[in-house]
Structure 1
Amino acid sequence: MMMPRGQQLLLPANPWFIWGSLITALALNMLQNMGLWGRAAWLPDLLALILVFWAIHQPQRVGVGAAFLLGLAMDVHQSALLGQHALAYSALSFLAIGIHRRILWFSVPSQALQLLPLFAAAHALTLIIRLLTGEYFPGWSVVLSPLIETLLWPAVSVLLLLPQRQAPDRDDNRPL
């Protein structure tokens, strides 16, 4: 597969970094839910964002199974219906893996716009499950969450690709 012009050749992703970022996102989600706002509907789902990133950039290492297990961990933490987040994260990961080859050809802002429907679908799936089980409607602020996740995509892309952009051995005479 040819790379688009001007795109930098990346080093392979370190599996420890991939799984460390996923565990960190899980911990941040858990802290965010216990924090000042509680489980506010407008708060972004950082774990979903990192899952989509790695499902697009490393689909061989982070797949639907990992998304399902991390979703179960979120369900247990939030005392939600067991499988609610697992289903949403699995569907999100499946859709991200389905578009991973196409989406990498676009610039990062264009990627963010194309991922907005995925984030919205995951939140809609979670909301539908909550409403079907008799929970309350969290309000229209739930619409802000996918928008915030979309706005966070460029920052997450730069941050998580930073270790892969470094040359393994610094050399002033080598262009890569």
Structure 2
Amino acid sequence: MPTRPHYILLPVSPLFIAFSLVCAFMLNLLPWGRWFGAPDFVALVLVFWGIHQPRKVGIGIAFCMGLLMDVHDATLLGENALAYTLLSYLAIMIHRRVLWFPIGTQAMHVFPLLLMTQAIQIVVRFFVTGRFPSWLHFLESVIAVALWPVITWMLLAPQRRAVDKDHTRPI
């Protein structure tokens, strides 16, 4: 069985975490965010940091990001906040287990979390409006899981650089 390389990662900068959350929020603000199947980038980045840095990005940040998304979407105040809080809690709960798996298996662990987030949002909307969207609405989670390897590569890239360049050592 081939082994995959394990990188020794540098500590993540809190500024980079904040930058990634702001970028995810800005991607959700774009007009194509309302298109059918467009992923929820804030949820995806919250899951990533909840798994990789659970002590730095927790439930409080998820709640605040949820309130920001509620204001942006003009939805019931607390709808996204509730969903993101539960998403962050569950990501923190499974973070030790998920990190042992390769990227593809990690994506399969993240998939139910993203589905649960969408289900919570849909249930809250159903109780408020009485309307249920089509089942194709859950395509958003499938696309988000397909983006998991790209998001992982992008958000771990700053931590993989060498502190001092030395061409004689492999790490």
Other-structure match for 1:126? 121
Other-structure match for 2:90? 95
Residue aligned with 1:11, SS = coil
* Match status 1:137 vs 2:125: no
Q: Which amino acid aligns with 1:107?
A: P
* Match status 1:157 vs 2:152: yes
Other-structure match for 1:66? 61
Runs of 4+ aligned structure 1 residues displaced above 6 Å come to: none
Instruction: For 1:148 and 1:5, locate their aligned partners in 2 and report how far apart those are by CA, in whole Å.
Output: 25
Other-structure match for 2:26? 27
Pairwise CA distance, 1:136: 2.6
Cα deviation 1:57-90 (Å, max 9, x = unaligned): 0111100000000000000011100000000000
So what's the TM-score if we normalise by structure 2? 0.94
Instruction: For 1:152 and 1:7, locate their aligned partners in 2 and report how far apart those are by CA, in whole Å.
Output: 21
- Whether the 8 Å CA contact 1:67–1:89 is kept in 2: the answer is yes
Other-structure match for 2:44? 49
Over the aligned positions, Cα root-mean-square deviation in angstroms equals 1.5
Other-structure match for 1:148? 143
Instruction: For 1:42 and 1:91, locate their aligned partners in 2 and report how far apart those are by CA, in whole Å.
Output: 22
Residue aligned with 1:92, SS = helix
> 5+ unaligned residues in a row in structure 2: which ranges?
none
> 5+ unaligned residues in a row in structure 1: which ranges?
none
Cα deviation 1:64-122 (Å, max 9, x = unaligned): 00000000000001110000000000000000000000100000011001111111011
* Match status 1:85 vs 2:84: no
So what's the TM-score if we normalise by structure 1? 0.91
The number of residues matched between the two structures is: 169
Instruction: For 1:141 and 1:57, locate their aligned partners in 2 and report how far apart those are by CA, in whole Å.
Output: 30
Pairwise CA distance, 1:174: 2.6
Instruction: For 1:70 and 1:5, locate their aligned partners in 2 and report how far apart those are by CA, in whole Å.
Output: 34
Q: Which amino acid aligns with 2:24?
A: A
- Whether the 8 Å CA contact 1:10–1:164 is kept in 2: the answer is yes
